[in-house]
A and B are shown apart, each in its own frame.
Chain A
């Protein structure tokens, strides 16, 4: 199978859909001439022209709102948020318009819109440029929210999103644009609302999404080697709709769960996962569900402080020991 970077997987999905469907257009800051801050759209202006690859002024609310209007007229716009941090500027458009128009129009209008961009931290961008917004956006009915971690899923979910009749937010793993993975040839989609078992195991369920999945896979190897614990790693990948079944089935098998996320714990995805597990698999649990989340602070700048603000291998291993009732 061909190997491709996460960045190229997203780009090829957009390019292929643009070839297939003239109603697909791109909007965003410096996505055309500049090539995109993260080069995800590099080369697309030359290929598709300025009517379809639209460089916008730095006005997220304005161009996101305009994209919603385009979508209501039957186009399939893809908005690039240079980073999701800037989406607060467009939050009124995303939440008050995109998420609700189908509903308050009584089903007369729809918003087939994709908004994509890098999410999360890890590259010393400090407080205003570091957020993990999956819990925030996942809160709103009417939106779909996904967070792919592999190039395979990034491409398949992007194509699925473009063809979806409702607004889809793709929270890309900003730190992983250069990572490589296998991507099938030809067109395929990854269905929303289905978690992925990234590693099979029997002793504990490690649950996460985005770049945390890679961390969990590393932890699983260490647990196997050092502690003899065989961990199952679940990549949630679709925040809304949310696949309770896969998580619950995993916990029914392992009887223990550690949920890991980069975002703040309170009112977070991990909290929702923990609640789902206790609702549906209470009798199977041998220990309370552990959450490992980001520090409850604005994101710091200094390398060591930032590292301390996000989940790390030691924290996760400690949590696993707690649910397994083991000493270090």
Chain B
């Protein structure tokens, strides 16, 4: 049942995590590896269901799936604390699901239904789940980065003890909004006023433009250094490595109020958007090569090698998550469209309320 799945995903506590274990160093428990596996498969199968629905014409607009990048959000959001906030761009389904958003409501949002997590008003690019810490998915590349930095200022000002996990892609780092925001973060961090954990999801392409075709300085980490923000490159296909860095660095940001940046080296195995059929900008061989380091495949191997579980156990996990995704699709398909009166709600605080029967 979907609700069971999502509630098991709610973070218990950060200390139950990888407790600072280094990748390839024994110390990540079998239980933890299986938890990661469960989460990554959950995201993957959900995204595949989204893709099918999009191709069937049941999901409108744009659809950007997280396939290939699962280790990044899974590794990082394992450190999430209730006082934290998460903000990202439009490739946002995974972040919502991992923070505990009900998969049914996420899928219903994609379907544009009244049961959607933002009432069918935002769609795929604008998932919000404020009670679970998700301050939104945003559709303008780079445009949300200043918001995240401002949220971190507010959290330092209010002394909540929280941090902001601020996700963005390699395409966004060339946008002025990034540079202005990073400059502010570095500046405010000097007085401990900016607990932002920047997460640059370097999936190698800003839409169809590779990093090499977008900048003469392909050392993207140096673009943090310019603003006095320390950074670290992490293998974004390795959930254990991501998780280790996430625990260590989120703790540091939380304690100091000084921003830090993780450059997660990942790869978008799926097309940019579900309508990106031709993929003229990259070769089939390149994608095939990348699939050898599919983060789920890598973790599977690690689990099997460590004897943490057998193939049968993994299959059980896959099957359970397939059921969740299927149930979400059914829920979305059977849900009603939004009440037409919702068109005019939520423009202002005093916009008319809709009282559905």
Contacts and interface: CB of A to CB of B under 8 A. Distances in A.
Interface string A43-81: 000000001000011010111111111111111010000
Contact of A108 (B128, B157, B184, B193): B128
Contacts of B143: 65, 92-93, 96-97
B74 interface: no
Most buried by B among A51, A73, A144: A73
A166 B193 CA distance: 25
Contact of B128 (A57, A63, A75, A109): A109
Given A104-B121, A105-B130, A62 B154 contact: no
Contact of B193 (A51, A74, A97, A104): A51
Interface stretch (B64-72, B235-243, B324-332, B344-352): B344-352
Contact of B153 (A59, A70, A74): A70
Given A103-B346, A106-B118, A68 B150 contact: yes
Contacts of B179: 62
Contacts of A105: 118, 121-122, 126, 128, 130, 136, 346
B349 A65 contact: no
B158 interface: yes
A110 B349 contact: yes
Given A104-B121, A105-B130, A142-B347, A66 B147 contact: yes
A102 interface: yes
Contact of A106 (B85, B119, B180): B119
Contacts of B138: 97
A110 B129 CA distance: 13
Contacts of B151: 69-70, 72-73
A16 B118 CA distance: 37
A57 B118 contact: no
Interface string A86-109: 000000110011000111111111
Contacts of B120: 106
Interface in B37-73: none
B121 to A, nearest CB: 5
A102 B130 contact: no
Contacts of B340: none
B347 A141 contact: yes
B346 A102 contact: yes
Contact of A70 (B129, B154, B183): B154
A65 B181 contact: yes
Contacts of B346: 102-103, 105-107
Contacts of B87: 69
Interface residues on A, range: 35 or more
B135 interface: yes
B256 to A, nearest CB: 17
B135 A109 contact: yes
Contact of B146 (A61, A71, A73, A142): A61
A260 interface: no
B77 interface: no
Contacts of A96: 139-140, 143
Nearest to A164: B349
B117 interface: yes
Interface in B101-125: 116-122
A165 interface: yes
B157 A106 contact: no
Contact of A73 (B128, B129, B155): B155
Contact of B147 (A72, A74, A107, A108): A72
A25 interface: yes
Nearest to B136: A105
Contacts of A104: 118, 121-122, 126, 128, 136
A75 to B, nearest CB: 5
B135 A72 contact: yes
Contacts of B148: 69
A165 B177 CA distance: 25
Most buried by A among B116, B150, B176: B150
Interface in B2-46: none
B172 interface: no
A105 B132 CA distance: 13
A64 B146 contact: yes
Contacts of B152: 69
A109 B225 CA distance: 32
Given A65-B143, A69-B149, A108-B128, 10 more contacts: A57-B180, A61-B176, A62-B184, A66-B146, A66-B147, A93-B143, A97-B144, A104-B121, A105-B346, A107-B119
Interface of B: 85, 87, 116-122, 126, 128-130, 135-136, 138-140, 143-155, 157-158, 176-177, 179-181, 183-184, 187, 193, 345-349
Interface of A: 25, 51, 56-57, 59, 61-75, 77, 92-93, 96-97, 101-110, 141-142, 144, 165-166
15 contacts: A25-B157, A57-B183, A57-B184, A62-B181, A63-B146, A66-B146, A69-B146, A69-B151, A69-B153, A93-B146, A96-B139, A103-B346, A105-B346, A109-B130, A141-B347
Q: Which 3 A-B pairs have the closest CB atoms?
A: A65-B146, A62-B180, A69-B150
